[in-house]
Structure 1
């Protein structure tokens, strides 16, 4: 009887142990963490669009105006081949400097200045959240 109880206890101990699984890092959740904590830049993943004189980065929780500079022009060169139309959004992961917009200017409350381009990928073409505007 003691052997049966011992086997049952050992079986329970073995099956109750947790198997640890690797988890994917969610950039949105960890966007405030940067490679160098002292550089002031944050990593953001979102949908990007640049049209004529305005650029926008839309994350899962907020929309940011993007500063138009040389780094934005480099990003635009990388995303241009992925767009079918000039108004298409492209998924990007970038390191940015986030700051409040100047008082008296139109736009979203915060702006971002692109410092480094990490990843560029097309959006899911089967996505149902696409809005097409008539010309």
Structure 2
């Protein structure tokens, strides 16, 4: 009796796994067919990702924090341009600015430290000041 129950559980385990993978494949096929439709614009077909979030560039590091993820930013001419645009909205060098950019998301190489993903900025859409209440920075001062 125990062997029969064990075999039943193993069979159920394998069949439920197969159903999940088929469901995932079906969902991926539906999503890809919707994304590749005729209503897709030229910008949507170029492989770049639209990201909006808080940007800070200090020293030799740049970071973009969105609602879901934190990205290290690839340092190049676009980051320098974005930082120049952001300086107009900063009171201090460590202040964040709200940005909207398009770029290429890249996985971090295994042998390097840092955030799991990087963003290589290709297009800067907008830059604005961050909300003061969202800029939670602890500052230490000696008097």
Q: Give the TM-score taking structure 2 as reference length.
A: 0.66
Q: Which structure 1 residue ranges, 4+ long, deviate > 4 Å from structure 2? A: none
CA–CA distance in structure 2, aligned partners of residues 88 and 57 of structure 1? 12
> Greater helix share, 1 or 2?
2
1:67-125 Cα deviation digits (max 9, x unpaired):
00000000001001110000000000000100101111000100000000001010112
Contact 1:99 1:111 in 2 (8 A): yes
1:108 aligns with one of 112, 115, 137: 115
Corresponding residue pairs, total: 102
1:96 aligns with one of 95, 99, 103: 103
> Secondary structure of 1:60's partner?
coil
Deviation at 1:128, TM superposition (A): 5.4
> Secondary structure of 1:75's partner?
helix
CA–CA distance in structure 2, aligned partners of residues 110 and 120 of structure 1? 22
Question: 5+ unaligned residues in a row in structure 2: which ranges?
Answer: 1-39
Question: 5+ unaligned residues in a row in structure 1: which ranges?
Answer: 1-32
**Residue of structure 2 in register with 1:134 after alignment:** 140
